[in-house]
Structure 1
Amino acid sequence: MKGLTSNEKNRVLNSMAELVASEKVTILKANKIDLDSYSGKDIAMYDRLKVDDAKVDGMILSLEQLIADIDPIGKELYSFTHENGLKMTNKTAPFGTVLIIYESRPDVTVEAAGIAFKSGNKILLKGGKESLNSNLKIVELWHKALSENNISTDWVEYLNYNRTETQEFLTKPTQKIDLVVPRGGEKLITFVKQNATCPVIVSGRGNNFIYVDTEADLEMALKVIINAKASKISACNALDKVLINHNLINKEAFTKSLINKLVEHKVEILGDDDLSKFEKVSAFKDPNIWFKEFLDYKIVLGFVDSLDEVILKINTYAGGHSAVIITKNDETANLFMESVDSAAVYQNASTRFTDGGQFGLGGELAISTDKLHHRGPMGLQHLVTNKWYIYGNGQIR
């Protein structure tokens, strides 16, 4: 399809924002059908599925931010004039067609699709069956926004496929796909990676760690850990593991305070051999639990002897998403942040900030834990590839 101008894209996004606002009640009604039909016991899935007034307002805000943001297409990245007179320029360009496969979250149908659209891509959406009514209503609004501006509805397409049909489409797509972005749990990501025949950006796996150093502010540590674990357990930036230095002054008192705070927030606590001796902590038997992202009211606590052990443990088990050190020692923090292999590393702050909106990107397409082609929250300016433009007057080599 012929590319759209910035003005055309912004007009569609503006129409979409107005339609989402005016159709809030119908979106909530469609979502209620999905909620009433959901029979699973996955509390994270249910939390992501639910749409309320605040989520609709978030959809509208993401569209308004996209309108205000600079168009990412056609930005000059590099230029060079060859000694023979050839003028060479490298510019940002759309991928082409982006397939977004996601579970449960109807807001993705607005936010991620909006980012993909403004970055010049045709969007294919494949949501989960649990959010079908919500997604179809929102896609209906996308088509209305496109039609109001005399632009083909082919720019946004919803794939109402079951698992077998999705697998077949990934393996043998009936149209050209340039990029697939799976947003969901590890099973979904594995399914897409095993079947897709085009590049895949891995998004969403957390298993995030916080390390409490010997020079930590312990009140701060409690506050940060509770926020990271309990404020939104369905988010991929939620906390799963806490490592406490054995040499921490008041280690026993701090650990007991942390356990009590977690219990107050109804968090189930699992511990290594030393930590499981504390009351209200259950011992775990399978060491592979260090690999697990919970998306639930569960957490693992463990003691460590050194910063080297912390770095090794995080780099071995974590999902490459977010890792935190709680310490007053900036030199220790810098060593931790430079050595830990995660997309986002923090000193003295909650993992819950790893988010496109919180990072000043507006919305986000995904949070990539890959190192290619972009790492961490992917906003509008990241969903681009590049293209070379060479201007000559008959040069040959």
Structure 2
Amino acid sequence: MNTLLSIEKRNAVLRNMAKLLDQNREEIIAINKVDLEAYNGDDISMFDRLKVNDAKVDEMIAAAQHLALQQDPVGVERFSFEHENGLKIYNRTASFGTVLIIYESRPDVTVEAAGIAFKSGNNILLKGGKESLNSNKKIVSLWHEALKMEGVSTDWITYLEFDRSETQAFLENPTRQVDLIVPRGGERLIAFVKQHAQCPVIVSGRGNNFVYVHKDADWEIALQVIINGKTAKISACNAVDKVLIDKNLKDKTAFIQKLMTELQAFDVTILGDEQTSKLSGISPFENEAIWYQEFLDFKIVIGEVENVDAAVAKINTYSGGHSSVIVTKDEASAKGFMENVDTAAVYHNASTRFTDGGQFGLGGELAISTDKLHQRGPIGLQHLVTNKWYVYGNGQTR
């Protein structure tokens, strides 16, 4: 592990990276086109995450620039205590050491996630997917150039060009120190990492997010929240997959038909439970297990529930623990829902698409954790640290 770089050095590297991304914009997009043309899968969400265009490069640049402006997350005092014997005791944030990021498809992770981990004082190991190999290698070469410009070792950021079996072998018996692993991808990737890893793993779990349309919902808000959540970016873990309609919603059938019309305009496949599938245009699903599924596709399930308690119970049973929404004009019902739903983010009258480090004011994110330790929800710069106790004395013994 390298010695902790000064915050001035870390910030300078990030500023260099932003400039290099801009200077190499056309080459990055051209190299990414090679990856896009080579991709032969039929996963439309994977393809969407793989693509790099001018807007995506702008986002990478903005992430690096923003990180360079943020306060140093390392060495922040969280607790202090003076013992009666004169010992001065402090708890301060500290870097993990070496962070391994394993991810699929998204070249922007090579900038944003690596940048957050680097600014937090960590050595970075990157293991991207084969579908984005050329894009990732180009971006890592820019990281190395940014490091060299400050006379800093390129060992701070290393790209692991491993296949699946090599990755498994490394997880089970690392050839170098690894203190934390962050898998970013689908459920299969996360399960694979958890099964084989020998150190802590931050689980960026499945979405499978729910919107509950309460009996006192505003129709327009409900429609906006559902359509945006389902159609704005189907490859995102904060997309909506399930809609629960309160059985006592006024003009319920008319609302569902209006919702169906708007969803069908985006070619969304609509499935329903026993109650909602009686409506023309909604196909009944075949198995209750569908409530567990994250779609990452133009597909949605609409079901009916008795009341707030039933909605909470359904979400807590089936959701991925990511995000959930209640649409209602009743503040008391919203409060009860938000306090009792067991997801990392809970919303009242707003889209799940905001569950994102940048949108939450974190300036970016390493991942969105659906675990409850050590950080839940979007993991930003200030969360990618552990802590250390500093104790100062003058000969005290116990």
Tell me how far 1:274 sits from its aligned partner.
Answer: 1.1
Counterpart CA distance in 2 for 1:78 and 1:377 is 24
Tell me the distance in 2 between the aligned counterparts of 1:72 and 1:218: 43
- Counterpart of 2:46 in structure 1 is 45
Q: Which whole-Å CA distance do the structure 1 matches of 2:364 and 2:220 have between them? A: 32
How much identity, in percent, do the aligned residues show? 64
Determine the structure 2 residue equivalent to 1:359: 360
Cα separation, 2, equivalents of 1:348 and 1:14: 38
How far does the alpha carbon of each residue in 1:311-331 deviate from its partner, in whole angstroms, 9 at most, with x for none? 110000000100000000111
Q: Deviation digits for residues 184-210 of structure 1, max 9, x if unmatched?
A: 000000000000010000014100000
Unpaired runs of at least 5, structure 1: none
Q: Do the aligned residues in 2 keep the contact of 1:93 with 1:386 (CA within 8 Å)?
A: yes
> Amino acid of the residue matched to residue 306 of structure 1?
N
Amino acid at match of 2:274: D
Q: Hey, what does 1:230 align to over in structure 2?
A: 231
Q: How does 1:84-103 map to 2 (within 5 A)?
A: 84-103=85-104
Question: How do residues 149-160 of structure 1 correspond to structure 2 at under 5 angstroms?
Answer: 149-160=150-161
Task: Give distance in 2, aligned partners of 1:334 and 1:52.
Answer: 41
CA shift for structure 1 position 307: 1.0
* Structure 1 residue ranges (4+ consecutive) displaced by more than 2 angstroms after TM superposition: none
Give the TM-score normalised by the residue count of structure 2: 0.99
CA displacement, residues 374-395 of structure 1 (integer Å, 9 cap, x when unaligned): 0000110000000000011111
> Which residue of structure 1 lines up, in the alignment, with residue 276 of structure 2?
275
Would the aligned equivalents of 1:206 and 1:237 in 2 still touch at CA under 8 Å? Answer: yes
| SS of the residue 2:250 aligns to | coil
Q: What corresponds to 2:60 in structure 1?
A: 59
User: 2:343 corresponds to which residue?
Assistant: 342
The code of the aligned residue for 2:305 comes to V
- Secondary structure of the residue aligned to 2:350 is coil
After superposition, where does 1:165-184 map in structure 2 within 5 Å?
165-184=166-185
Amino acid of the structure 2 residue aligned with 1:57:
D
Q: TM-score, normalised by structure 1?
A: 0.99
**Deviation, structure 1 residue 220:** 1.1
Q: Does 1:288 align with 2:289?
A: yes
* Alignment coverage as a number of residue pairs: 397
RMSD of the alignment, in Å? 0.5
1:288 partner amino acid: A
Quote the offset at 1:71 in angstroms. Answer: 0.7
Q: Which residue identity does 1:16 align to in structure 2? A: M
Distance in 2 between residues matched to 1:306 and 1:12, nearest whole Å: 53
| 8 A Cα contact 1:27 1:134, kept in partner | yes
Contact 1:182 1:202 in 2 (8 A): yes
Residues 13-70 of structure 1, C-alpha deviation per residue, up to 9 Å, x if partnerless? 0110000000001101110000000000000000000000000000000011101111
Contact 2:369–2:377 (CA under 8 A) maintained in structure 1 = yes
Q: Distance in 2 between matches of 1:154 and 1:346?
A: 42
CA contact (8 A) 2:358 2:365 kept: yes
Structure 2: any 5+ residue segments left out of the alignment? none
CA distance in 1, matches of 2:299, 2:33: 28
Q: Aligned ranges for residues 122-137 of structure 1 at < 5 Å?
A: 122-137=123-138
Do structure 1's residue 6 and structure 2's residue 7 form an aligned pair? yes
**1:62, 1:111 within 8 Å by CA — same for their partners in 2?**
yes
Matched-pair contact (CA < 8 Å) for 1:204–1:366: no
Within 2, Cα distance between the matches of 1:147 and 1:298?
A: 47
Could you say which residue in structure 1 is the equivalent of 2:307? 306
1:374 aligns with 2:375: yes
Q: Does 1:113 align with 2:141?
A: no
State how 1:245-260 maps to structure 2 within 5 Å.
Answer: 245-260=246-261
Task: Determine if the alignment matches structure 1 residue 319 to structure 2 residue 316.
Answer: no
* DSSP 3-state at the match of 1:273: coil
**For residue 245 of structure 2, what is the amino acid of its counterpart?**
I
Rounded Cα–Cα distance in structure 1 between residues aligned with 2:369 and 2:27: 32
* Cα distance in 2, alignment partners of residues 187 and 353 from structure 1: 25
Asked if the contact 1:82–1:88 (Cα under 8 Å) also holds between the matched residues in 2, the reply is yes
